[in-house]
Amino acid sequence: MWSRYARFSVLTAGFALAVAACGGGSASLSSTGTSGGGYGSSGGSALAPQAPSSQQNPGSSVSGGSQSQSAPAANNAAPAPAAPGNAAPNGAKPAAGLPVPPPGTVPAPPLPGQPHPAPPASGANFASDVGVTANSITFGAINLASATRSLGPVVSEPTQKITEAALTYINNRGGINGRKLQLLTCDDGGDVTRARACYEKLKTQVFAFLPAETFLTDVIHPALAQDHVPFMSWGWFQSEYTDPYMFPCHANGIREASALAKWVAENKHPKTVGIMYLNVSEDIAAKDTATKTLSQYGIKVVQNISMEWDSPDESQHVLSMRVANPDAIFTFTWAAPLAKFFRDAGGQNWSPPLGYWSNHVTTDPGFGPVWGDYIRDHDAGITSFLIPEPWQEPVSPGNLLWEQVTKQYSGYDVAGLHFKYAMGHHISQAAFVCAIALPQMIGPLGANVTRTAFMQQLEAHQYDTGMGVVLKWPHGDHGQYPYSFNKEYIYQWITSPDGGWEEKHLYPDPLYQ
Amino acid sequence: MTGTLVNAGTSPVAPVEAAGSGLAVRDLKVFYGPVPAVRGVSLDCRPGEIVGVIGANGAGKTSLLSGIAGLVKTTGGSISLDGRDITRWPAHRRGQAGVVMVAERRRVFPSLSVRENLAVGGFGLDRGEVDRRVQSMLELFPRLRERERVPSFRLSGGEQRMVSIGRALVTGAQCILFDELSLGLAPRIVAELTGVLRALADEGRMIVLVEQYIGVLLRLADSVHVLERGRIRFAGPAQESAQWLEHHGYLAHAGTAAAAQEAAEART
Amino acid sequence: MALFVSALIIGVSLGTIYGLMAFGMVASYRISKVVNLGQAGIAAFGASVYWWMSSQWGAPLVVSLFGGVLVGGVLGAILGYANLKLANRAKGLVMIFTLTVTLLLFAWVDLIIPAYNITPPSPFGQGGFNFQLTFITYAQIGTFATCIAVVLVTTWVMRMTRFGMFVRAIYDDPDGASTVGIPLGVYVVGVWAVAGGMAGLAGILATSRVQLDSILLLFVMVWGLAGAILGGLESFALAFVGGVSLGVAEGILGGMLGGDLGPGLENLSAILIMAVGVLYAGTKRRHLAHLQT
């Protein structure tokens, strides 16, 4: 009799595991909005505080309101995205499960292989491309919300909430030319295979993808070119900067390493350094890049420590670093092993004379209390955006908008959200700036919103986020100069007046050339 | 050694409880998956009786004993001890009730010393009683005394057999299931052990003995059951069984037949 | 020399945790012949209970420590009971079942603890002293002393008490033990409970040194298993020594060679030790089999 219970237990456990691993696995649609004047080609938005502003890229031949379906303006020799013209993407299907406009009011979205319908003579909105109807534009986001082992919930949930808040904010002001924005999300659980399935499912339903956390972005490039799908991405992988269909909204680790190494070399003048890096390709590449940069200044790397994210103990690495005794230590690694290292180094009351210089991982405002006393006065990190902290006065307009929008439409205040989750301010900032700038990116297109025109618009203009970053994606290779994140920011952990944790902005700001 | 037990007049270990109706096995079936090992065997063993079971390899002898001891799951039939149905009892409960199997393989707990091996049989008893019973066993098998602290995997085969019998006796078992008593032992040791078994039976214990050596079996058993392919082919008094065994080719060698006959006559 | 000594101290301190985990795995393996992969989940859950009691309820650290160990023991007992009921199944299947339990407990732990990295307070307090090149914390000393004490007490119980004698009898021959009246189920559940308690303790000691991370404990279990295999899954002493050896290897390789090894080679070294252990264990088992016949 009991063996039946045992079988049931096993099956239940297995099922629970499967559910936990899949996280539901389904795409979910969020759509909000109220009536309003809306953003449009005429501009005239009344954002308070100031919303990101856009301006035409110098030398661009494409005008802001262009509805041209021609190939993107060729201002260099880099390969351009294949111009889809008026053809719908291969294999495209009508949006399933999305709100359908009343019959007769607007044309239906184009079926696979069929040309886009011609714009109505009246200039009214119409289903101009995949994911676009007369009164809505649907975006997609693929994240790893259920990947508990990869901090999926804590990384993805804030990003998703903030993206939804940004779209709601836009919708409450009338959307874009009367079209409300919707978000379809799909949880890949941190699994690339599932992520590809998410992509295949969403590509026929969404107009474009917005930044979210997924390891899909490094493996999807051929599909994007084939499907002509614009993908605004989280900027984790270097490959996102060379794919003409990807528009990264955050600096990648290799460039962070280069900029940070240059800054430390020029401003702190260490003679020797140690480097700790996570044993993954991106961080190994960051280590190599920093080493190369440092060598140009005659700085010797006296110790390299390869970290594993699952390391049960880092005390032996502390010992190894102590023996090497570098002037400074660079860290291009993951939070968990670094926290262990800091904890043990703190226990040994040891730190390099010039401190630790880290990638963006250590700069999250929520990390201070989590990482403990040792991080204060010992560690500084580089990050893409200005940090939105209460002590930062005056608060940058982009961060002020981010705080207000998040608080009003997600129920969280930014600091609370990040102090609670202690992760990901920079990537949720990335999601926010690319979402909140959509009216400037799409509004000028008028009624004829197409993927091609959207990508042309992104490449032809630049967008001031108000967070110290001007987004720009030069045509072709989006990582070429002028790169969005040429300028980054370095913050050092210090003790706040009340004895807590505070981040001090170090100057000059590092530049990547 | 045999003399020690017999001449002592009383058992050196716990006295056997008042005899009841004994062990009664009815239509017992043991299957290993779809493969039948025991297909409806019945036998009785009354206090003071030695029931012999003989059969070729694979006939189901060990499975029968294991089924009675509760070490394998029975798929049919019933087992009762002194009128109590113990068919569904787990092995340890049968052991506590007095049904103990002395297995042919792994006769001892190899990592335990001789004394510990014996003391294990005293599960549930207080320490003083266990010590007393162990001491009795060391008197019954003097050669174990000198190796009392030795890990039992270092013992010879005969010594290991003595340990396993001693352990069963420490439990105070009233029904002992012996599997291949003489296997791998020197004739002199076998002679000693058969004497011990006879004495145990004379004290009122029930003994079911599986034995391939017919001479040994007929010398000891009051009744004999011949097992073939999981079924009883013959059951009867030891004297009658010698003739049946010879007639059915179990006594292939003349010497064996004569020895068996002699053994059977010796029992009468 | 000072570097070697310092690395050795770090390794021994780490290795005793592996050794404790190995000890529990050998205990549960010998009584049921199942590799108990549930130890990692139990360790994580025990550590979570410890953190919850000490940091959320404000219970004294000693009380919290016993709470975590007790919960580990209860979980071990439940797992042992389930193992009994699955006794007729293939051992590999039961092992997978225990792994499933670990993953289930990991998921449960994720619900209990905050989503960010937390470090439970050390039951041995803060501070320490300098020795050679390294700073030896009271937590390291306490961990070492606790693990050694637990191992010694367990060894004493196994060698000198009737309970231990019956357990060893079951280890040698479960059928033989049950036929003399020893209730196998009670002892199997009991031993798995003790192993669970050890896992809970190992989890607390490991996470209070670094951080409460269930995956971290999965790897502590893997190294514990490596140590257990080094002991042939049969010898408690060798399993403990095996676990300590792995910690020492990790400490020395990481501390002395640092980044010279290149990515992943520290773990590879431990895997190589485990492979050697497997070969050794095979030889050892044949040796025992020979002795028992």
| Alpha-carbon gap, residue B4 to B8, rounded angstroms | 6
Indicate which of C158, C179, C292 best probes the interface with B, i.e. most B CBs within 10 Å of its own CB: C179
Look up residue B43 and give its amino acid: L
What is the rounded average pLDDT of the residues A384-407?
A: 78
Q: Which helix (H) or strand (E) holds B41?
A: strand B35-45
| Alpha-carbon gap, residue B50 to B263, rounded angstroms | 15
Using a CB-CB cut-off of 8 Å, the residues of chain C touching B123 are 166, 180-182
| Alpha-carbon gap, residue B231 to B209, rounded angstroms | 17
Picking from A95-99, A380-384, B259-263, C112-116, which range would have the lowest pLDDT averaged per residue? A95-99
Query: Would you tell me which residues 130-159 of chain C have a C-beta closer than 8 angstroms to some C-beta of chain A?
Result: 133-135, 137, 139
Q: Which residue does chain B place closest to C172, by CA atoms?
A: B109
pLDDT number for residue A48: 38
* Number of Cβ within a 10 Å radius of residue C119: 20
Helix (H, G, I), strand (E, B) or coil at A301: strand
pLDDT number for residue C283: 56
Residue among B110, B116, B119 minimizing CB distance to C292: B110
Contact B238, B224 (CB under 8 A): yes
Q: Which helix (H) or strand (E) holds A504?
A: strand A501-506
pLDDT number for residue A182: 96
| Alpha-carbon gap, residue B213 to B180, rounded angstroms | 9
What is the rounded average pLDDT of the residues B196-213?
A: 88
Contact A232, A457 (CB under 8 A): no
Look up residue A241 and give its amino acid: Y
**Touch of C by B (3+ CB pairs closer than 8 Å):** yes
* Token reading at A52: 């990101």
Q: Mind listing the pLDDT tens digit for each residue in A56-96?
A: 554 333 332 233 333 333 333 333 333 333 333 333 333 33
What is the rounded average pLDDT of the residues A399-425?
A: 69
Alpha helices in A228-314 (DSSP H): 253-267, 281-296
Kindly list the strands in the beta sheet with A328-332, ordered across the sheet, starting from the edge strand earlier in the chain.
Answer: A300-307, A272-278, A328-332, A356-358, A379-383, A489-495, A501-506
What is the rounded average pLDDT of the residues A471-492?
A: 85
* Number of Cβ within a 10 Å radius of residue B10: 8
pLDDT bracket for residue B142 (50, 70, 90):
confident
User: Where would I find the beta strands (DSSP E) of chain C?
Assistant: 128-131, 134-137
Contact C42, C98 (CB under 8 A): no
* Pairwise pLDDT comparison (A30 vs A497), residue with the higher score: A497
Q: Which residue does chain A place closest to C212, by CA atoms?
A: A336
* Token reading at B259: 């020895």
* Ramachandran angles phi, psi of A465, nearest 5°: -80, -15
Q: Which residues contact A266 (CB under 8 A, 6 or more apart)?
A: A297
- Provide the CATH topology of domain C11-292: ABC transporter involved in vitamin B12 uptake, BtuC (1.10.3470)
Q: Which of B17-26, B100-109, B158-167, B185-194 reaches the highest mean pLDDT?
A: B158-167
| Alpha-carbon gap, residue A249 to A213, rounded angstroms | 12
Helix (H, G, I), strand (E, B) or coil at A314: coil
Contact B246, B54 (CB under 8 A): no
Q: Which helix (H) or strand (E) holds A435?
A: helix A425-436
With an 8 Å Cβ cutoff, the interface of chain B facing chain C consists of 66, 69-71, 90-96, 100-101, 103, 106-112, 116-117, 119-121, 123-124, 127, 153-154, 167-168, 171
The one-character DSSP state at A513 is -
The one-character DSSP state at A117 is P
Q: Which of A44-58, A66-80, C72-86 reaches the highest mean pLDDT?
A: C72-86
Using a CB-CB cut-off of 8 Å, the residues of chain C touching A350 are 135
How is chain C split into domains, by residue range?
Answer: 11-292
HSE at residue C159, side-chain half, CA atoms within 13 A, is: 10
| Alpha-carbon gap, residue B96 to B98, rounded angstroms | 5
Q: Which residue does chain C place closest to A21, by CA atoms?
A: C107
Domains of chain A (ranges; CATH) run 23-68+124-251+407-472 (3.40.50.2300), 254-383+488-506 (3.40.50.2300)
* Ramachandran angles phi, psi of A285, nearest 5°: -65, -35
Smallest Cα distance from C113 to chain B, Å: 43
Q: Are strands B175-179 and B35-45 parallel, antiparallel or unpaired?
A: unpaired
| Alpha-carbon gap, residue A483 to A166, rounded angstroms | 24
Contact A372, A379 (CB under 8 A): no
What is the rounded average pLDDT of the residues A471-475?
A: 89
Q: Are strands A208-209 and A136-143 parallel, antiparallel or unpaired?
A: parallel
**pLDDT averaged over every residue in chain B:** 82
* Number of Cβ within a 10 Å radius of residue A198: 27
HSE at residue C149, side-chain half, CA atoms within 13 A, is: 8
The one-character DSSP state at A110 is P
- Provide the CATH topology of domain B2-267: Rossmann fold (3.40.50)
* Number of Cβ within a 10 Å radius of residue B24: 17
H, E, C per residue of A195-212: HHHHHHHHCCCCCEECCC
Helix (H, G, I), strand (E, B) or coil at C54: helix
Using a CB-CB cut-off of 8 Å, the residues of chain B touching C169 are 109, 112, 116-117, 120
- DSSP character string of C218-250: HHHHHHHHHHHHHTTTT-HHHHHHHHHHHHHHH
Q: Mind listing the pLDDT tens digit for each residue in A419-447?
A: 554 445 777 888 999 999 999 999 999 99
* Token reading at C35: 């590799």
Residue among A10, A303, A310 minimizing CB distance to C219: A310
Using a CB-CB cut-off of 8 Å, the residues of chain B touching C179 are 69-71, 91-92, 94-95, 100-101, 103
| Alpha-carbon gap, residue C169 to B119, rounded angstroms | 10
Helix (H, G, I), strand (E, B) or coil at A26: coil
What is the rounded average pLDDT of the residues C274-293?
A: 53
In this structure, what is the dihedral angle of CA atoms B70, B195, B41, B248, given to the nearest 10 degrees? 150
pLDDT number for residue C37: 92
pLDDT number for residue C39: 93
Q: Which residues contact A474 (CB under 8 A, 6 or more apart)?
A: A57, A75, A76, A459, A480, A481, A482, A483
pLDDT bracket for residue A104 (50, 70, 90):
very low
Q: Mind listing the pLDDT tens digit for each residue in A191-239?
A: 888 889 999 999 999 999 999 988 888 888 889 999 999 999 988 788 8
* Token reading at B192: 């000693």
Q: Residues of C55-86 as b/e, b for ≥16 C-beta within 10 angstroms?
A: beeebebeebbbbbbbbbbbbbbbbbbbbbbb
Picking from A311-325, A455-469, B168-182, C208-222, which range would have the lowest pLDDT averaged per residue? C208-222
| Alpha-carbon gap, residue A75 to A66, rounded angstroms | 17
Bond from prior residue into A99 cis (ω within 30 degrees of 0): no
* Number of Cβ within a 10 Å radius of residue C130: 10
Helix (H, G, I), strand (E, B) or coil at C11: helix
| Alpha-carbon gap, residue A382 to B211, rounded angstroms | 84
Burial of B149 (0-12, 13-18, 19+ CB in 10 A): exposed
A455 pLDDT exceeds 80? yes
* Number of Cβ within a 10 Å radius of residue B89: 17
Query: Would you tell me which residues 99-118 of chain C have a C-beta closer than 8 angstroms to some C-beta of chain A?
Result: 100-101, 103-104, 106-107, 110, 115-118
* Pairwise pLDDT comparison (A35 vs A284), residue with the higher score: A284
CA-based nearest residue to C120, from B101, A202, A372: A372
For Cα atoms A264, A270, A273, give the angle at the middle one, nearest 5 degrees.
Answer: 90
pLDDT number for residue B200: 87
What is the rounded average pLDDT of the residues A489-507?
A: 87
Query: Would you tell me which residues 167-186 of chain C have a C-beta closer than 8 angstroms to some C-beta of chain A?
Result: none
Helix (H, G, I), strand (E, B) or coil at B265: helix
